[in-house]
Structure 1
Amino acid sequence: MRVVVLGCGYLGNELGRQLGSAGHDVVGVRRSADGLAAVEDAGLDAVRADVTDPTDLAAVPDADWVVYAASAGSGDPAAARAAYVDGLRTAIEQFGGRADPPDRFLYVSSTGVYGDRDGTWVDEETPPAPETERERILATAERVALDATEEAGIDGTVARLGGIYGPDRYRLQRFLEGPVVAGHLNAVHREDAGGAIRHLLDGDHARGEVVLVVDDEPVDKQAFADWLAEQCGVPEPPKRTREAVRADDSLSDASKRRRLADKRCSNAKLRGLGYDFAYPTVREGYRPAIEAYRESRDGGDSNDGDPPHTDGGASVSDRVDLDPGDSFTTAARTITEADVVNFAGVSGDFNYLHVDAERTADAEYGERVAHGALVFSVATGLIWQARDRGDVVAFYGVDDLRFVAPVFVGDTVHAEVTVTEIEGTDAPDAEALVRHEVRVRDQDDEVVMTFEPLALVG
């Protein structure tokens, strides 16, 4: 079969690898050059296209199966609607109108459509009850995925995924540092997210249906955090009750809803269709992250055997005690109202989007947005505090700074940092110019900012 994956990113590349290993021809569609490079690295045929543009989609080859895994790339409701609803409808119409339309069209959705169920069980028969604008958009997209495909004569399927984790997306540091809010974690490892979708397609399952894709255990988050701490040999993290979150006046209503949303998702249907999990629970899935944490703490080599960069004679990497591929995750910090007000005073940026709660209630986001420059400053401070190797002589500059999604008052951010390049330098008191790749994530593990800082290191 020929399979086209629209929005072939973190999940799509894993799915493509598995489908390719099963003998299928897989085309991965992305818009950005970096995204296309990742598709090629996964061994798939890469095609550049904007999935919301019918003209672009016309250049994508015909397929037997189409998987729509596009992401909005932003917390902006308008961007979410464009990607999840308008783009999805465009893709169905474009492929459905071809002389050789696909047999199946699978849409990747989210368990977020259930809203808050106060920790009760939900399954495919449980009606969605979205509470936020983003959740309502996801629920609308699910209806489009089933109704518009039927109108086009294509069998649609909705795969309703829990939180995807795996390589580069473990949240170990967040759990270890806390505070951990009471509730349940509905998750699925990337390998199983891709494996379950492959199983639905290869096994000819769930035509015209919704299937929940989560692992066997919606684990208690606080108990899981304590287990992680035990496995890592660190103290148990601080906890926070749901009542404390509700009573926290520093949090917006939207922030409270995100923290308090709680349900337990059942995978009985997926299990009944014969799927066997590689990682039945997060305990098995987090084992590589735990081992990497222990190795890093015990002074092990986190470089996976890659040779250090050299600049003639002694290794530059040895002189600064850094190697390409070294990575770390910073502590987390909550953006408070005081942070935003003080930054407005220091910077002179009193845009109402940052400081006027009443006016922003009727604006696009529905609440105040923290200054992008404030979040950048917080991220650089967290990175400075987390560094344990390499003596920074000077901050040399920053490349490719992007504000990917809004950060609201009450959001908690942390940074994931990877050393990407090390070059020798003649700068005074410095041994190397070091480039890093930084992803800043919020409490929902959504990327809100990316940038590449350069530092002179002695």
Structure 2
Amino acid sequence: MKLFIFGLGYSALRFAEAYRQNFAEISGTVRSDDKRGALTSAGIPSFRLDGMHWDPQVKDELLRSDAILVSIPPLAGSDPVLSQFSDVIRSSPRLSWIGYLSTVGVYGDAGGGWVDEGTPPAPINERSSARVVAENGWLDLGRASRASVQIFRLAGIYGPERNALRRVMDGTARRVIKPGQVFNRIHVDDIAQLLMASIRSPARNAIYNVSDDEPAPQQDVISYAAELLGREPPPDEPFAEAKLGAAAESFYQDNKRVLNTRIKRDLGVALKYPTYREGLQALLAAGEGQAG
């Protein structure tokens, strides 16, 4: 089986590395020549795709692929993969599986209530609205293609080099308190195992919430990371007084609890890290809490 990945970023590359032995060939796109050279040298042939500019070889790769993973976000409100490659994807003779990495942000603000895959999207910012448009575009393509399309709505991603332990260690962690606010998270290795499970059991036009079992306040995660490291947690900062950038401010606009029943029931996935506690413990054991 040949896998092609649009956007060899953090989650997609972790998946490729973890399940490399399951594919005869893996290739994909990157934005920089430096990364392209490094991945190609590591045995993952890579091709440039930067906005509307792309290597012509990408089309040849798609026509030889059995599975495609898309982890590139919308660009200026439009999905760059759909806009440039939908025709060749639709006509690919071998393609049987398409996975699109989206976000639980499409649900918007549920006021702390529970959402599942049957909850209608209600995005509250342009970024999440563009994701809904992209999801619908991929589902439409799936209805017109022989390949099965799967939408994966990801919660907040953490893992090696991107976690609360690192932020506590380098002094960038903050405990911003917004009463009643909770978030779900997902370890990057659980994303990887879920994608592999889906490839083994494809379902046409399926949507999956990819989240852990325990929605929790951001400050609890930071406090637990500090506890594991034997450090004092950062001081409380009331949300109303915290000086946050635009991206961080938007992070607190959504308040919901995400149900992940479908990935367990339909794909048989047992999360390696069902809560942030197991995830942070494993990262600490792997050396994430070491200075330098």
TM bucket, shorter chain: 0.7 to 0.9
What's the counterpart of residue 201 of structure 1? 199
SS of the residue corresponding to residue 192 of structure 1 reads helix
Whether the aligned pair in 2 keeps the contact of 1:16 and 1:42 (CA below 8 Å) is no
Whether the aligned pair in 1 keeps the contact of 2:176 and 2:236 (CA below 8 Å) is yes
What's the counterpart of residue 166 of structure 1? 159
SS of the residue corresponding to residue 286 of structure 1 reads helix
The amino acid of 1:212's aligned partner reads: N
Q: TM-score, normalised by structure 2?
A: 0.84
Question: Following superposition of structure 1 onto structure 2, how do residues 194-233 of structure 1 map, counting pairs within 5 Å?
Answer: 194-204=192-202, 206-233=203-230
Matches of 2:14 and 2:230, distance apart in 1: 32
Residue 203 of structure 1 and its aligned partner are, at CA, apart by 2.4
For structure 1, the 5+ residue unaligned runs are: 73-78, 297-326, 328-458
Matches of 1:37 and 1:139, distance apart in 2: 34
Q: 1:154 to 1:6 in 2, by over 3 A?
A: same
The amino acid of 1:117's aligned partner reads: A
Computed over aligned residues only, the root mean square deviation of the Cα atoms, in angstroms, reads: 2.8
Whether the aligned pair in 1 keeps the contact of 2:68 and 2:97 (CA below 8 Å) is yes
What CA deviation, in whole Å up to 9, does each residue of 1:398-442 have, x standing for no partner? Answer: xxxxxxxxxxxxxxxxxxxxxxxxxxxxxxxxxxxxxxxxxxxxx
SS of the residue corresponding to residue 109 of structure 1 reads strand
Whether the aligned pair in 2 keeps the contact of 1:54 and 1:94 (CA below 8 Å) is no
Q: Residue 155 of structure 1: which of 120, 132, 148 is its match? A: 148
Larger Rg: 1
What's the counterpart of residue 270 of structure 1? 263
Q: How many residues align?
A: 283
What's the counterpart of residue 10 of structure 2? 10
The amino acid of 1:137's aligned partner reads: A
Question: Following superposition of structure 1 onto structure 2, how do residues 234-245 of structure 1 map, counting pairs within 5 Å?
Answer: 234-241=231-238, 244=240
Whether the aligned pair in 2 keeps the contact of 1:158 and 1:210 (CA below 8 Å) is yes
What's the counterpart of residue 192 of structure 1? 190
SS of the residue corresponding to residue 252 of structure 2 reads helix
What's the counterpart of residue 81 of structure 1? 77
Matches of 1:164 and 1:215, distance apart in 2: 10
What's the counterpart of residue 35 of structure 1? 35
Whether the aligned pair in 2 keeps the contact of 1:189 and 1:279 (CA below 8 Å) is yes
For structure 2, the 5+ residue unaligned runs are: none
The amino acid of 2:116's aligned partner reads: D
Whether the aligned pair in 2 keeps the contact of 1:7 and 1:51 (CA below 8 Å) is no
Residue 229 of structure 1 and its aligned partner are, at CA, apart by 2.2
What's the counterpart of residue 67 of structure 1? 69
Matches of 1:41 and 1:266, distance apart in 2: 40
Q: 1:66 to 1:196 in 2, by over 3 A?
A: same
Matches of 1:24 and 1:276, distance apart in 2: 26
SS of the residue corresponding to residue 271 of structure 2 reads coil
Q: Which has the higher contact order (CA 8 A, sep 6+)?
A: 2
Q: Among the aligned pairs, what percent are the same residue?
A: 28
Matches of 1:91 and 1:217, distance apart in 2: 38
**Is 1:116 aligned to 2:109, yes or no?**
yes
What's the counterpart of residue 22 of structure 2? 22
Residue 172 of structure 1 and its aligned partner are, at CA, apart by 2.9
Q: 1:275 to 1:41 in 2, by over 3 A?
A: farther
SS of the residue corresponding to residue 3 of structure 2 reads strand
Matches of 1:2 and 1:51, distance apart in 2: 24
What's the counterpart of residue 143 of structure 1? 136
Residue 122 of structure 1 and its aligned partner are, at CA, apart by 0.9
